[in-house]
Structure 1
Amino acid sequence: MSALRTEHLLIDGEWRAAADGAVIEVENPADLSIVATVPRAGEADLEAALAAAERVQDDWARTPAWTRSELLRGAARNIMDRQEEIARLLTQEQGKPLHESRAEVATAAEQFEWYADEARRIYGRVVDGTTDGVRIEVRKEPIGPVAAFTPWNFPVMLAARKLAPALAAGCPIILKPAEESPSACLAMVRAIQDSGFPAGVIAAVTGDPAQISERLISSKVIRKVSLTGSVRVGRQLMQLASQNLAAISLELGGHGPVIVCDDVDVAQVAQLSARTKFRNAGQVCISPTRFLVARSIYEQFVEEFAAVARDLTLGDGSTDGVDVGPMCSRRRHDDFAALVEDATSRGAIAVTGGQSLAEAHGGHFYAPTVLRDIPAEARILQEEPFGPVALLIPYDTLDDAVRIANDTEYGLAGYLFTNDLGRAQLLSERVRVGMLGVNSYLVSTAVAPFSGVGLSGLGAENGTEGIEHYLHPKTVVTGIPTELS
């Protein structure tokens, strides 16, 4: 068993315990051992974080963009210098295999590299005046202090996705990492702070999510709220933000459809799909989940997909050769197991998996699961399963495939596999999602917007669009003489 770590809050440039000394224990989901404690931030801690953000907001907004850019680039270097340390903390608390953790840390650094450049590209514009004596300028200014809330499935990368654009735009930010997997996120924040950001510009507070969100968002200091989480929590935070009309962006999950046409290399697509599906034990908001396969190739696809799933190695993510780690928590495991049980009790067939391996492995493990013959009334077809399950569904026509793909209130990521350019174009226009991968599952990148429709959220992260949510336009109209004197 690893030595117990003690983490701290970052408030006004100081790493410290909670004012009242309260802590939360953090579990390793692979063996259920307690590996760390983090502070349970109280009212005094949150007030201090808000006061610091309010104090520094004007100075940070006025800091030259090139200075902010250099600080972000330094943060990226620091993160990569500490990649192995952060990755090992991530695997220990979140459960994903170590090679996935290393990749996540690298993508977090990429966010800071990208927004280091975007900080220098915050452009306004000049608009022609309505008369000779008028000049009109539109400036982009920081929106103000930000409260950001991140989940447990990608605790490093998703925090970076909020920290980097906020800091690039000139906004102080108070980050609340997930209590299930905080240490890697806090280690990344330490790397960022160590690159030279002024005290108070960045805060990191851990503790009770409801208490922290209520206190931060109800404050008039906070002018922007960013959440990656569930629809239930998104609705709650949206209501809180409405009190002071704070801007809000939400990424709330998905139920990714994959349309597999009859002209593909079936074995190749099935194997790629299975390897992608079980990344991070399926705990990925853009995870492909509903595989809609042309009936003529359906049986071969099921066979090839299930063969890969059966061959995956489960275990502690810190062990070499492990493909799939545990689910992050007992609650996540149990909620997921209930969805699978509901489907099989209604007649769905588990081609492979379909059972918990928690007892056998000693952690929150669930077998990689492939379901077919899923009845329409099964909850798993509408509720985001967020776990290691693939739903394999045949279709007869492409119109049927589009109808099934769009038969959900979610609309985050979707995927399409075909060798026909015309099909690819038409289907890409008709599938209702914020991101679509054509012959690729790589839809998440720092350089292009990450967004959804329907219950998948509001606003966009990543790309040029990502920084816009941390800025507001100011119009300046200046009257001038019409003639030189």
Structure 2
Amino acid sequence: MQKFSYDPLYLFINGNWLEAGQRDTVPVINPATGTALGRLPMAGAADLDLALAAATPAFDVWRHTAPEQRARVLKDAAALMRERSEHIATLMTLEEGKALTESRDEVLRAADYFEWFAEEARRIDGRVVPANRPGVQQLVKRQAIGPVAAFTPWNFPAITPARKLSAALAAGCSVILKPGEESPATALALARCLDDAGLPKGVLQIVFGVPDQVSAHLIASPVIRKVAFTGSVPVGRLLSQRAAAGVKPITLELGGHGPVLVFEDADIDAAAAGGAANRFRGTGQICISSTRFLVQRSVYARFAEQFVAATRKLVVGDGMDPATQVGPLANPRQLEKMEALVADAVAQGAKVLTGGKRIDRPGYFFAPTVLAEVPMSARVMHEEPFGPIAVLRPFEQLEDALAEANRLPYALSAYAFTRDARTVLDVGDGLEAGMIGINQYRIIATELPFGGMKESGHGSEGGIEGINHYLTNKFISQA
């Protein structure tokens, strides 16, 4: 297989690309081979203080920059991302493992977010409210909230930072971003595009480090006025507590355990084939991925047979191989978790219809796995697998399916397949989820809100809703 080069790794602070120097470093591992791609510099307290010191003056410059100029920088950055998409996608696949086709799509969709919010920068407006007494003018203005601390995980190293950066920068905020340490080069490549597009120095900082230490340091600083996080529920709770100590708003996009309701009148072929593709895309390491397939009993056997057949056809391998559809897990922790979840389910009586074990080859590969007859006591029925495991369960009536779909505290995404108009209305109203797909699995678009309910977080990214979290309302009454 052709060898590909991996970019040098830096911290990006106050417009400067800082090499490791005397800083601690950690290896970045190619999950398809288990070999090191490079070493990532870790920010210390002095680096974080430098980033905070740069964020305030940069915010003052950026928020007073005309919206049209902010929009131009974001559009130019989006154009550079598209121009460099093949290189950025290669970096992503090398460090995260997903199939190169998926990486290419992600980079282009990340660019779409910058272009979308570039236009939103020009639509930030307020209103004049008629006064209840003469000689008074009442205005409501929307202004940038201030410097933002943003934290993103490793699984979508382009699109998740893009959602946060594009909206915050469009609003006029400065941002300190800490991406996931497993896939740092992708986020740095986006920062390079913004820097080359003319983003003023200090408006964006990229830091890496020990996650708990970085989040504690940044969120506690009076410089930070807003926090945005994508990641696990436990970490989301922790960051919420830290933000609350400073009465700072926080946007959270947390985990899910996506239910899929398949009714007997549905297109079973489409639901099964599309479900297997959706579940194992990104090796199942996707928060909105379908996980629990709840199938009406009359068509359960047929669905299971087709779902398993589609799963077995998936090509597992190095994401750089054009034939690959399912890549490796991101790290050994994920691999160990998959083994533990399957072993627990089997020990309690579950049946493995396909997969169920790691693949004997270098890297962190686990076979796409389908479990049936899983008892409710099994861990996989309560914990987000975040890996290539699908669970199949039959149901009798709509009420049964909704009860199981809504049983967990997660409420990020849900899906339903039916041809009946009444059922469409019932599941749309009855499912507890921030995003619902009916007769389709692709539910994400730049112009639509992305976010969950219950313990899957609060607030939305994307769409016209996405920029509101980076703005604050100011009421002015003038006599």
TM-score by length of 1: 0.97
What is the 5 A alignment of 1:204-353? 204-353=206-355
Q: For this pair of structures, how many residues does the alignment match?
A: 477
Aligned to 1:89, what secondary structure does the other structure show? helix
What is the 5 A alignment of 1:457-476? 457-476=457-476
Q: Deviations over 1:85-132 (max 9, x none)?
A: 100000001000000000000110010011011101112111111112
The answer for the alignment partner of 1:187 in structure 2 is: 189
The structural deviation recorded for 1:135 is 1.4
Counterparts of 1:205 and 1:188, CA distance in 2: 13
Aligned to 2:122, what secondary structure does the other structure show? helix
Counterparts of 2:185 and 2:402, CA distance in 1: 42
Matched, 1:428 2:428: yes
The structural deviation recorded for 1:6 is 2.9
The answer for the alignment partner of 2:103 in structure 1 is: 101
The answer for the alignment partner of 2:28 in structure 1 is: 26
Counterparts of 1:171 and 1:62, CA distance in 2: 10
Which residue, 119, 137, 155 being the options, matches 2:121? Answer: 119
Kept in 2: contact 1:315–1:361 (CA 8 A): no
Kept in 1: contact 2:23–2:44 (CA 8 A): no
The answer for the alignment partner of 1:153 in structure 2 is: 155
The structural deviation recorded for 1:5 is 4.8
Kept in 2: contact 1:20–1:42 (CA 8 A): no
Kept in 2: contact 1:147–1:226 (CA 8 A): yes
Report the residue type matching 2:417 in the other structure.
F
Report the residue type matching 2:421 in the other structure.
L
Report the residue type matching 2:440 in the other structure.
S
Aligned to 2:466, what secondary structure does the other structure show? helix
Aligned to 2:306, what secondary structure does the other structure show? helix
The answer for the alignment partner of 2:85 in structure 1 is: 83
Report the residue type matching 1:389 in the other structure.
I
Q: Deviations over 1:258-315 (max 9, x none)?
A: 1111111212221111111110001000000011101000000000000011111111
Aligned to 1:6, what secondary structure does the other structure show? coil
The structural deviation recorded for 1:53 is 0.3
Counterparts of 2:469 and 2:50, CA distance in 1: 25
Matched, 1:440 2:475: no
Q: Compared with structure 1, are the counterparts of its residues 5 and 80 closer, same or farther at alpha carbon in structure 2 (3 Å cutoff)?
A: closer
Aligned to 1:465, what secondary structure does the other structure show? coil
The answer for the alignment partner of 1:414 in structure 2 is: 414
Counterparts of 2:59 and 2:433, CA distance in 1: 36
Which residue, 152, 165, 168 being the options, matches 1:166? Answer: 168
Kept in 2: contact 1:369–1:390 (CA 8 A): yes
Kept in 2: contact 1:162–1:226 (CA 8 A): yes
Report the residue type matching 2:242 in the other structure.
L
The structural deviation recorded for 1:18 is 4.5
Question: Identity across aligned pairs (percent)?
Answer: 47
Report the residue type matching 2:78 in the other structure.
A
Aligned to 1:21, what secondary structure does the other structure show? coil
Kept in 2: contact 1:19–1:41 (CA 8 A): no
Q: Compared with structure 1, are the counterparts of its residues 155 and 84 closer, same or farther at alpha carbon in structure 2 (3 Å cutoff)?
A: same
Aligned to 1:450, what secondary structure does the other structure show? coil
Report the residue type matching 1:323 in the other structure.
Q
Counterparts of 1:25 and 1:397, CA distance in 2: 51
Counterparts of 1:288 and 1:422, CA distance in 2: 23
Aligned to 2:49, what secondary structure does the other structure show? helix
Counterparts of 1:18 and 1:125, CA distance in 2: 49
TM-score by length of 2: 0.98
Q: Deviations over 1:18-50 (max 9, x none)?
A: 563321110000010000111111111111110
| Structure 2 segments unaligned to the other structure (5+ residues) | none
Counterparts of 2:33 and 2:267, CA distance in 1: 40
| Structure 1 segments unaligned to the other structure (5+ residues) | 480-485
Counterparts of 1:473 and 1:333, CA distance in 2: 46
Q: Deviations over 1:37-91 (max 9, x none)?
A: 1111111111111000012211211111111011110110011111001000000
Counterparts of 2:166 and 2:407, CA distance in 1: 35
Counterparts of 2:4 and 2:466, CA distance in 1: 38
The answer for the alignment partner of 2:451 in structure 1 is: 451
The answer for the alignment partner of 1:142 in structure 2 is: 144
Counterparts of 2:322 and 2:440, CA distance in 1: 27
Kept in 1: contact 2:414–2:435 (CA 8 A): yes
Counterparts of 2:269 and 2:465, CA distance in 1: 37
Which residue, 28, 47, 55 being the options, matches 1:53? Answer: 55
Q: Alignment RMSD, CA only?
A: 1.1
The structural deviation recorded for 1:230 is 0.4
Counterparts of 2:48 and 2:22, CA distance in 1: 12
The structural deviation recorded for 1:3 is 5.9
Matched, 1:369 2:369: yes
Q: Compared with structure 1, are the counterparts of its residues 375 and 475 closer, same or farther at alpha carbon in structure 2 (3 Å cutoff)?
A: same
Kept in 1: contact 2:267–2:418 (CA 8 A): no
Counterparts of 1:331 and 1:453, CA distance in 2: 27
